[in-house]
Structure 1
Amino acid sequence: MQCEFSDLNVLLKASSKDDVIQICREAFLYRNKPVLSDNVLNMAIDKLGSDRSTVAKLYKSLSVLLKMSVFHGSSDPKFLLQLYPSDFQKNLKELLIKITIDNMSSWKSIASASQVSLPNLVDFDWRVDVKTSSDSIARMSVPTCILNMQVQETATDVNSMPDVNGVQVELSKETLDTMLDGLSKIRDQLNSVANR
């Protein structure tokens, strides 16, 4: 999703910097909401003296811009300046960059708290195979478990979904017993922490 910078020009109608700061904070706070509450929209409509559709577009574009800024994580004004088109209104650009820098650490904390940094297990499937071999002296038959896991990698771009990769693991009976024992201990610890 791209930021429509023309939608941000409605911020020029704000009566004070505090109104712009409040709108930016709300835009980041509600950045993942597909639809904003009437309360949030109505307060912005009152502050900007604009219609509902324009304010909704403002929040959507501002959310995209702020997500990109936090995703890149730089508090360097020169870097943030590169996110804006050269013909964007100078005073508004400087104000938005200042607001972004002032809120960067808290927004990073909020964003990292809402995401897990490790890959996520999306799905798994398993089957039991029997490996057989024989020679003239003895016949051997060894059961093994084939575990197929679908893992979603961490995001590397704010505008795209991370890839889902397949991982296949072969486990002997002994390895599977060890793994299940370890997972049982993890489950017990999680239960004890959850019950506190």
Structure 2
Amino acid sequence: MTPRLALADMAATVSSEDLSNLQLLLKAPSKDAVRDVCLQSHRAPSRRLAEATAATLGVPVSQAAELVRSLHVLSHHVLFYNLSSPEQILALFPESFHSSLKNLITKILLENSPTWRTEAVSDQISLPQLKDLDWRVDMVTGSDSVSRMSVPTCLVQLQMEDPCPTAGGESVSTVTVELSRESLDTILDGLGRIRDQLSVVAGK
């Protein structure tokens, strides 16, 4: 099963206006120019890209900006719905759309979709992952509470790896947790339930 990318703009619907905007690519001086605009517009549209596209196509910046936006929507739509065959992408275009241009756009999208999909997955926010675990049993020898004197506790050290660390932050961090026997029993019971549920799901 191919995972759908959990990015908000991936689900954008390609409108008839978007497809109409793509006709501006007929003004491109070459196929390479069309390819360049398609590739650059996949990332976030910018004023600079719109201006460069306007100069290449010889159109107003406002029209170039709409073209860039429409190409951005189209490429993300193809990724989100995992359109992986020429027929699936060609079906998005109306019959009246320029035949050679839609074939070229389709070819460009199919060639670059695998790379874009990999980039999109790697850019998604991921939860920290357990990298290593260590533990030891200690005796509490100093406390304001006399009842806690000489009570065994378990110190669990978790080494976590954050796939998306903050700027200047470390990707690996260590957390130490102190657990009483009762707390440890509760956790072990919960982990046992999780293990059983994973086994059931994996067995389906």
TM-score range (shorter-chain normalised) is 0.5 to 0.7
Bigger Cα displacement from structure 2, 97-106 vs 72-81? 72-81
Query: Which one is further off, 72-81 or 51-60?
Result: 72-81
- CA deviation after TM superposition for structure 1 residue 22, in Å: 0.6
Once the two structures are superposed, the pairs formed by residues 15-94 of structure 1 within 5 Å of their partners are 15-30=29-44, 36-37=46-47, 39-94=48-103
Q: Counterpart of 1:152? A: none
Matching residue of 2:118: 109
How many residue pairs get matched?
A: 126
Asked whether 1:194 is paired with 2:172, we answer: yes
**How far apart, in 1, do the equivalents of 2:90 and 2:37 lie?**
20
Q: Can you list the C-alpha shifts for 1:67-105, whole angstroms capped at 9, x where unaligned? A: 111112232111111122222111110000010111111
1:9-31, CA deviations, whole angstroms, 9 ceiling, x for partnerless residues? Answer: 1100000111111100111122x
CA displacement, residues 103-147 of structure 1 (integer Å, 9 cap, x when unaligned): 1111111221222589xxxxxxxxxxxxxxxxxxxxxxxxxxxxx
Within 5 Å, give how 1:89-168 maps onto structure 2. Answer: 89-116=98-125
- Out of 11-20 and 72-81, give the one that drifted further: 72-81
- Mind listing any 5+ residue stretches in structure 1 that lack a counterpart? 119-180
Aligned partner letter, 1:17: K
Q: Give the counterpart letter for 2:22 in structure 1.
A: L
Alpha-carbon spacing, 1:117–1:101, altered in 2? closer, same or farther (3 Å): farther
4+ runs deviating over 4 angstroms: none
**1:193–1:52 Cα change, 3 Å:** closer
Q: Which has the higher strand share?
A: 1
Distance in structure 1 (CA, Å) of the matches to 2:73 and 2:94: 15
- 2:172 counterpart letter in structure 1: A
Which one has the largest radius of gyration? Answer: 2
Give me the CA root mean square deviation: 2.6
Letter in 2 for 1:22: D
Matched-pair identity in %:
30
SS of aligned partner of 1:45:
helix
Question: Please, what TM-score do these two structures have when normalized by structure 2?
Answer: 0.55
